[in-house]
Amino acid sequence: MTELFVHYREAARPPLPRIEALTKTMPDSHPVSRETIRRLLTGTTTSQWAVVDAVLRALFHLQGRDPDGRRWAEADDH
């Protein structure tokens, strides 16, 4: 959950309703309630991967980043 919160901070701490709305409208959407998002970000719950993935993808969208891209460069990247 720490990693999820890192991405939340990197997305400039968007309001939970905004994240909730994005989880409903993104490709292959998996709607997540703002209460579930809040509980995930505070570490008071865990969830199925589909829920965490939906929140992560919404946060990446807000950052303008590709959720399927590499986070760190590999040694053979040019």
Q: Which tens digits make up the pLDDT trace of 26-42? A: 888 889 999 999 999 99
Check residue 47 and give left, alpha or beta (phi > 0: left; psi -120 to 50: alpha): beta
- Confidence tier at 77 by pLDDT (50, 70, 90): low
Q: Which domain holds residue 39?
A: 2-63
Q: How far apart are CA 33 and CA 63, in angstroms?
A: 20
The overall average pLDDT reported for the chain is 88
Verdict on whether the full-model pTM lies above 0.85: no
**Is residue 56 a part of any domain in this protein?**
yes
**Is residue 9 a part of any domain in this protein?**
yes
**Is residue 77 a part of any domain in this protein?**
no
Q: What is the pLDDT of residue 65?
A: 86
How many domains does the structure of the chain reveal? 1
**Is residue 16 a part of any domain in this protein?**
yes
**Is residue 75 a part of any domain in this protein?**
no
**Is residue 28 a part of any domain in this protein?**
yes
Check: CB of residue 7 under 8 Å from CB of residue 59: yes
